[in-house]
Structure 1
Amino acid sequence: MSPLARRATALLVVLPLIAVLTVVSDHRFAAPPGPARDAPTAMVAMGDSTMSGEGAGSYEPGTDGENGNWCHRSLRATINRTTVAGIDKTFNLACSGANSEQVGLTDKLQNTEQSQAKRLAAIARVNRVAVIVVAVGANDDPRFSDVLNRCVQAWFERGADCTATLSDDWRGRVDRMVPKVERALRDIRSVMDAEGYTQRSYSLVVQSYASPVASSVPADLQNLAGCPLRTADMAWVRDTGVGVLAKGIQTAANRVDARYLDLTRAGAKHEACTGGGKPESEWFTRLTVDFDGLRDQDRASHALQESFHPNARGHEQVGRCLSEFLATTAKTAACVVDDKGALKAVANPTAD
């Protein structure tokens, strides 16, 4: 074949391809999902009061009762005390009082805010989300805050230990909670899938709860000046309540292939009132009353809201442990107090 014939044949092949590419280029395709390549990396906190920063003070404007929003997101919250290499931005979506439904995908508002999972979608669209940390479940069937409130009431009434009536049904409450937490976590996975993420492109961490009280409270603080709770009730919360709750949360985490951080013993020897005359050694708030709020009709019902939650020191310690955990590839770990009195993340911890 002559050179001229070869060129003619090549043109016959190339020209149709050029025509196809021209047609394709004239059609607008939607941009692929996921953030831009140069998007800032982000870490996101989701869940309830233990993640929002309840008890730590320094609440973000707009979340301290303004217009009915009591999310109490603190600038001192755990997520703001967590350090992860390469993270540019941190978002706290957690809200005091939130349950699993409000963390997942729902049209219902909570504290005037839309679903946390829906808000996560907006963040994941313009930021490269690398870490999502979730604490949720206690406000579902277990209603852990109500348990503590009932125990305070039992102290006032001088009746039977409040936890005596809870023990028989506690495991059942936790069992009913598990599928709800699992559903919320699956909603988070679904949101991330829809935004173009693979499960390997981000770390989803689920953490359990620490006991805010212990039976070692001095007798002179088992009153309105500190912790108006019976010794047997505090022992049940620490030795039974949070442990059963943690197992349920871990079950939900395992079902969605999330990482799990156990906090059941994170407050050991630093629970509310255990410091006696040295409250600065405690990582949880004692009975806390907003006396100014009591004089305001709109705030009065929230005057005790901070009670028995991690304080700023507690959030700092959990943030330290979470930072250590996120620096590893471990699937599970627990936060325990080391010999220097600080929290650290350990694998397969031994019992006290």
Structure 2
Amino acid sequence: MCSSITRRTTRFTRRLLAAVLTLPLSAAGLVAFAAAPARAATPSGATASVSMGDSYISGEAGRWKGNSVVTSGSRASTDRAWTGSAYDPARVYGATYASGCDRSDVAEVRSAPVTQTQLNLACSGAVAANVYRAANGGQSFKGEAPQADQLAAVASQYNVKLITLSIGGNDLGFSDVITTCVSDYLVWYSYCNDDQQAAIDSRMPAAMAGVGKALDEIRAVMSGAGYTAGDYRIVLQSYPSPIPRSAEMRYPESGWSRSDTGGCPFWNGDADWARDSLVPQISRALAGVAASKGAQFLDLGDMLQGREVCSKATRQATSTTAPSATTSEWARFVDAGLSSSQGTVQESMHPNYYGQQALGQCLTLLYARPSGNYACRNTAGQDASGMYLTAK
């Protein structure tokens, strides 16, 4: 009996083996032994650093070297668009001034020459959907394709080493918050922080989901271009506070000096809320998204400390006092409510020429740290060379 069973088992085993050997390797489950398809090679072109996102990284307000209420000529040497006879913002923003993307010549990526090539895809006013690929819900903006689709072309031509993203502020309605707070100061004599906090809280979940999807879209583009995660780095950064807390304001709350000459039309309560509550809240939320998506995080919340618009530690340029990286404000004042408008309102409350050079130094310092999350801060009395990082 055992001998008969053994013979039948042997014949069955031989037939099974013969059948297996006639099948394609994939059908037999032996694909692992076949040669894996080769990964597309990372481009061998020049190394590149790419910035993506909104106005806080596109270079908005890079036209201005500090602030001044001087309205004529070079505006006490603060207006880099002055040609000697007229104002030409294209000298600073190039062709993107016409579209409103306002990519300045000192934008963060341009002020951080960490690679052979620096490419700025960011556009002032962009929301997260302007970063996604068109095939995945991305939207064109100001006459340009979605930024992820632009990145695909860049990634095929250059050896991309660093991608820095600033996005989410417009999804949260940050410009609306500023407009409301200014209006409450100039017109309604009321605080904005109560209703605006509720508005921010209601928008936060969707906004952060959008930031997360933007990071996913960037990863997908890079993977499609043949890059592995180790071939490049993604940095997600937060936003700096352009105004100081009330105790650090150089203009008193009474009267109209904050709006007429200072360009910082905010009540003390709203300034404290923006500096110590709103900006940190957004930074914490962005840090959480970066952690969940494996991106490096750069916290810029305190980057302008002591260099904000109307800060006691700074001063405006005058006809007898030239602007300076060590004494001037590093953010553009609100170009509304002043005795005479100088530039465009959309430049208001953004890092200016000095601030963008400081941001570039922050990015340069971070590039030397291949891992870990950091906050960037300035050193009082020094220019951009005094920027330094602290671990988060």
Shorter-chain TM-score tier: 0.7 to 0.9
Report the AA paired with residue 346 of structure 1.
T
| Structure 1 residue 31, shift from structure 2 partner | 9.5
The answer as to 2:310 corresponding to 1:282 is no
SS of 1:133 mapped into structure 2: strand
Are residue 50 (structure 1) and residue 70 (structure 2) matched?
no
Q: How many residues align?
A: 305
| Secondary structure of 1:253 counterpart | helix
Q: CA-to-partner distance for each residue in 1:180-235, whole Å, 9 max, x for gaps?
A: 10001100000000000001110100100000111222126411322112121111
Can you list the C-alpha shifts for 1:274-299, whole angstroms capped at 9, x where unaligned? 1564454211011236x9x989xxxx
Is 1:63 matched up with 2:107? no
Provide the residue aligned with 1:155 in structure 2: 185
- Look up the match of 2:109: 79
Q: Is the radius of gyration larger for structure 1 or structure 2?
A: 2
Q: Deviations over 1:137-165 (max 9, x none)?
A: 0011x211110111111112233201121
Does the 8 Å contact 2:58/2:121 carry over to 1? yes
Bigger RCO (CA 8 Å, 6+ sep): 2
Give the match for residue 299 of structure 1: none
| Deviation string, structure 1 residues 97-144 (Cα, Å, up to 9, x no partner) | 00111012135221111100000000000110000001000011x211
Letter in 2 for 1:143: G
CA contact (8 A) 1:79 1:90 kept: yes
Say whether residues 1:315 and 2:356 are aligned partners: yes
Task: Give the stretch that moved more between structures: 247-256 or 196-205.
Answer: 247-256
Structure 2 distance, partners of 1:60, 1:168, is: 35
Runs of 4+ in 1 over 4 A off after TM superposition: none
CA distance in 2, matches of 1:169, 1:318: 29
Of 120, 131, 147, the match for 1:92: 120
Tell me the CA shift for residue 252 of structure 1: 1.4
Structure 1 match to 2:276: 239
Tell me: CA distance 1:119–1:97, structure 2 relative to 1, closer, same or farther (3 Å).
Answer: same
What is the rounded CA distance, in whole Å, between the counterparts of 1:125 and 1:271 in structure 2?
A: 40
Indicate the residue corresponding to 1:222 in structure 2.
258
AA at the equivalent of 1:336: R
Please, what TM-score do these two structures have when normalized by structure 2? 0.73
1:265-318 Cα shifts (integer Å, max 9, x gaps): 1111110121564454211011236x9x989xxxxxx93111111001001111
AA paired with 1:47?
G
Name the residue aligned to 1:330.
371
Q: Distance in 2 between matches of 1:285 and 1:143?
A: 19
Q: Which residue of 1 aligns with 2:160?
A: 129
Query: Does the C-alpha gap of structure 1 residues 160 and 42 become closer, same or farther in structure 2, counting only changes over 3 Å?
Result: same
Q: Deviation string for 1:20-70 (max 9, x for gaps)?
A: xxxxxxxxxx99634443x111110001001000001243322112xxx10
Distance 1:55 1:32, change over 3 A: same
Kept in 2: contact 1:221–1:273 (CA 8 A): no
Are 2:42 and 2:227, in contact at CA under 8 Å, matched by a contact in 1? no
Q: Note if 1:252 corresponds to 2:303.
A: no
Distance in 1 (alpha carbons) for counterparts of 2:187 and 2:363: 40
Deviation at 1:83, TM superposition (A): 3.0
Alignment of 1:22-41 (within 5 A): 33-37=40-44, 39-41=45-47
Alignment CA distance shift 1:259-1:319 (3 Å): same
TM-score, reference length from structure 1 = 0.81
1:111 lines up with 2:117 in the alignment: no
Over the aligned positions, Cα root-mean-square deviation in angstroms equals 2.4
Aligned-partner residue type, residue 343 of structure 1? M
Q: How does 1:259-278 map to 2 (within 5 A)?
A: 259-275=296-312, 277-278=315-316
Structure 2 SS opposite 1:46: strand
Does structure 2 retain, via aligned residues, the 8 Å contact 1:260–1:333? yes
Mapped contact 2:306–2:380 kept (Cα < 8 A): no
Structure 1 residues 137-216: aligned runs within 5 Å: 137-140=168-171, 142-214=172-244, 215=246, 216=248
Partners of 2:391 and 2:46 lie apart in 1 by 31
Summarize the Cα distance change of 1:104–1:278 in structure 2 as closer, same or farther, 3 Å threshold. Answer: same
**What is the alpha-carbon distance in structure 2 between the residues aligned to residue 311 and residue 324 of structure 1?**
20
Is the CA contact (8 Å cut-off) linking 2:139 and 2:146 kept in structure 1? yes
AA aligned opposite 2:46: P
Deviations 1:69-98 (A, max 9, x none): 1000001111111132xx211100000000
SS in 2 for 1:235: helix
* Contact 1:41–1:129 (CA under 8 A) maintained in structure 2: yes
* Cα distance between partner residues in 2 of 1:71 and 1:338: 31
